[in-house]
Amino acid sequence: MRPDFPTKEQVEKATHEELGRWFRFLPEGDTPEEKKLLDRIAERFEKLGGMTPAVSKKIGRGGV
């Protein structure tokens, strides 16, 4: 797996903001494992409220 992808454990412990950053900035997954992680990120992110104006403002467009 690529080094820019979080681990499954990181995804499960991530905050709304962290999930939003990954949701917005991670590239499309190349492997089934990466795609599964992206699906889980999206699922958790949506359950926490999705891309709110506050989260969007915090993470910006550059992801830093």
pLDDT at 64 over 70: no
Which residues, including other chains, have CB under 8 Å from residue 34's CB and lie 6 or more apart?
1, 2, 5
Does the residue 22 lie in any domain? yes
Q: Is residue 2 part of a domain?
A: no
CA distance 34 to 28: 8
pTM more than 0.85: yes
d(CA 24, CA 64): 12
pLDDT digits (tens, 9 = 90+) for 12-35: 999 999 999 999 999 998 899 999
pLDDT at residue 1 greater than cutoff 90: no
Q: Specify the number of domains making up the chain.
A: 1
In a domain, 44, yes or no: yes
Say if 14 falls within a structural domain: yes
pLDDT range class, residue 46, cuts 50, 70, 90: very high
Count of CB atoms within 10 A of residue 14's CB? 19
User: Range of 54's domain?
Assistant: 8-58
Q: Does residue 1 belong to any structural domain of this protein?
A: no
